[in-house]
Each structure stands twice: as structure tokens, then as C-alpha cells.
Amino acid sequence: MTIVEKMKKSDWNAVLNIYIEGMETKNATFETKKPEWESWEDWDKDHLTTCRLVVKEGAKVLGWAALLPISSRQFYSGVAEVSIYLDKDSLGKGIGSMLMESLIVQSEKEGFWMLQSEIFPENIGSIRLHDKFSFRKVGVREKIGKMEGMDNGWRDVVLMERRSEKVGV
């Protein structure tokens, strides 16, 4: 049975491995080397303490979702950046939709009024997932960051956001 549950520290190795798989695609993150977080504690400091989810089939983690703060300023406290990563063998099986739906529900319970994502334009699957859940394309941030190992290094991202219809209306 496939279930969505709160992420636990014991899920850390699977979370890290799935992130590294995404990193290796060169279309999920600007990171190209081992992530800065060496441990659960490092990852824990970067991510919000609420809205951390995993999808499991038995004991196997198929994907994970978490939120990152977009600013430390109080007036942005209801805005967060979405991170969703899937095990490569789980792509196209509805796992991303399970995570996104649960993440939206939980984020609204926690008082978030805006979720945003920055997605490489080549990551069509992620853009479609966000479209499915009423994220709107704000625009393309051209050459916003450099990525090691790319021809000229510069990458664009599509900025997408979703305004809650329940919180902050």
C-alpha cells in the first residue's frame, strides 16, 4: 500500500539518495556535487519544520516534499518554496501528485498563503505537476544561476506560484 506520511529522521538516507538522483538529472537543482547538507541536522536547519512529507510503499520511500523559507522577514512568513523529489523508478506513477496534494492541504493548515517553485524549463514533468495543482507561471528568470558542467553554465528557471483559496483571502 502506498501512503503519505510525515517525514521522520529515519527517512533521511532515502531522502538524500532521492535528492542525489534528482541532482544527477541536471534538471532538478543547480547542485552538481554532494549536497551541502552532510547530515539530517544540516538539512533540518535549511527546511521549515512543518510540511515535511514522504510517500512510502511499505518501508521504501518513493518520494519526498518539504518547504523552504523564501525570507526570514516576518511579512513573508506565509510564503514558502516547494521542494518535491521522486525516486527515479516512481516517475509517472502519481507519486508527485500525492505529495503535492498533501503538501497543499498541510501548508494551508499551517497558514501558508503562497507556495512557489523555481523549475528548470526542461523539467516538463515538474511544470505539468505544478500546472495540475493550479500553480501559475509568473515568468522566466533568465540566466539566474550558473551550473557547473553545463556548456555556458547559465540556467533559466520558470517561476511558478500558487495562491491559497483558503488562507489569506
Which DSSP symbol is given to 3?
E
CA distances from 84 to 29, 49, 51, 67, 73 (A): 11, 15, 11, 9, 24
- Compute the average pLDDT of residues 56-79: 94
% of the chain exceeding 70 in pLDDT:
99
* Percent of residues, the chain, with pLDDT higher than 90: 77
pLDDT at residue 74 tops 70 = yes
Residue 85 has pLDDT above 90, yes or no: yes
Mean pLDDT score across all residues of the chain = 93
pLDDT at residue 151, as a whole number:
67
Cell representation of residue 80 = 514558502
- What's the confidence (pLDDT) of residue 49? 94
pTM here is 0.93
pLDDT tens for 120-138 read 999 999 999 999 999 999 9
pLDDT at 40 over 80: yes
Mean pLDDT calculated for residue range 3-22: 95
**pLDDT value for 32:** 83
Q: What angle do CA 122, 157, 51 make, to 5 degrees?
A: 100
Distances (CA, A) of 123 to 26, 46, 64: 9, 24, 17
Which of 18-22, 38-42, 79-83, 132-136 comes out lowest in average pLDDT? 38-42
> Which pLDDT does position 169 carry in this prediction?
78
Question: At residue 95, does pLDDT exceed 70?
Answer: yes
Pick the CATH number of 2-163 from 3.40.309.10, 3.40.630.30, 1.10.3720.10, 3.30.70.260: 3.40.630.30
